[in-house]
Amino acid sequence: MKPGLEKTLISLCWLSGFVLLGAVIILVGYLAYRGIPTLNRHLLFGDTPPLDAMLMKQQVFDGLFPAIVGTLALLAIAIIIAVPIGVAAGIYMAEYGRGPVKKLFSLLFDILAAIPSIVIGLCGLTVILILHNRFEGRFAPCLILSALSLAFLVMPYLIRTTQMALESVPPAIRLTAPALGSSKLQNILLVLLPSCLPEITGGIILATGRCAEDTAVIMLTGAVTSAGIPRSFLDQYEALPFYIYYISAQYSGPAELASGFGAALILLVICGLLFTLSFWLRRRLTTSLLYR
């Protein structure tokens, strides 16, 4: 490559990085400028005493506390459902899938990853309508069906991340345990998976972020604006992404719009804390593998 062309490409790369960084700083800065003044006890709990709200003695109907609890519950259930299935499918694709079957599953997973979230939400709504008619009104949009839809949405990322992580394990590590007499399953569980846990954790981080920010799925499968804290998997719930969407579309005054900015800032903080925890776990796993 010519020196002049190489310098031009490097300059473009740096320029692209600065443009992206500048856009992020502007967006986060504007969100903080509009959202920080609204952060107070009333935004979270309304007129309900905070201790009574956290102990679930009183419902909060004019604050964001139920939406925060609903968002965290939705994230936890969706990840608990998606991670075991996604990792198991990724193990199958990397270690057991062969020939036309593997190609077919690869095509299906790629198609699934490209499906817009609104389509997943419509599929979840269809399932809800079928269950509602089949069981004579016992099923309705609820927390568990939203979590299942979100798990279905993020599962392709987990499958592909696990598959690529296992396929990238060096041959020297891959062949050591079988050479010592271990079975294929023992090699996968005791050698291959521990060696690529940081990469799999990265996929879980991406899946967590996708679950936290998605609105199209949850607004069709169970999220409402005034449900309170869900007391079972079959209850409707509140969620911060849906609240932000609802307020930005139908706010009646500056105060409601300001609460929307506050909710967006809280959601950003929750995602930041979750990502920080995930990256800390990933770093600990990487360090433990290096000194194992």
Domain ranges of the chain: 29-290
Q: What angle do CA 217, 223, 226 make, to 5 degrees?
A: 160
Q: What angle do CA 249, 207, 278 make, to 5 degrees?
A: 110
pTM: 0.85
Give the relative orientation of helices 197-213 and 254-290 as an angle to the nearest 10 degrees.
170
Residue 138 has pLDDT above 80, yes or no: no
pLDDT on residue 19: 92
Over the stretch 215-258, which tens digit does the pLDDT of each residue have? 888 888 888 877 778 888 888 888 888 888 888 888 778 888 88
Q: Which fold has domain 29-290?
A: MetI-like fold (1.10.3720)
pLDDT on residue 26: 92
Over the stretch 200-227, which tens digit does the pLDDT of each residue have? 888 888 888 888 888 888 888 888 877 7
Residue 80 has pLDDT above 60, yes or no: yes
Residue 286 has pLDDT above 70, yes or no: no
Phi-psi group of 136: left, alpha or beta (phi > 0 → left; psi -120 to 50 → alpha; rest → beta): left
Give mean pLDDT, residues 87-104.
88
Over the stretch 142-188, which tens digit does the pLDDT of each residue have? 888 899 999 998 998 899 889 888 888 888 888 887 887 888 888 88
Residue 2 has pLDDT above 70, yes or no: no
CB 158: neighbour CB atoms within 10 A?
25
Q: Which of 231, 253, 230, 257 is nearest to 243 (CA)?
A: 257
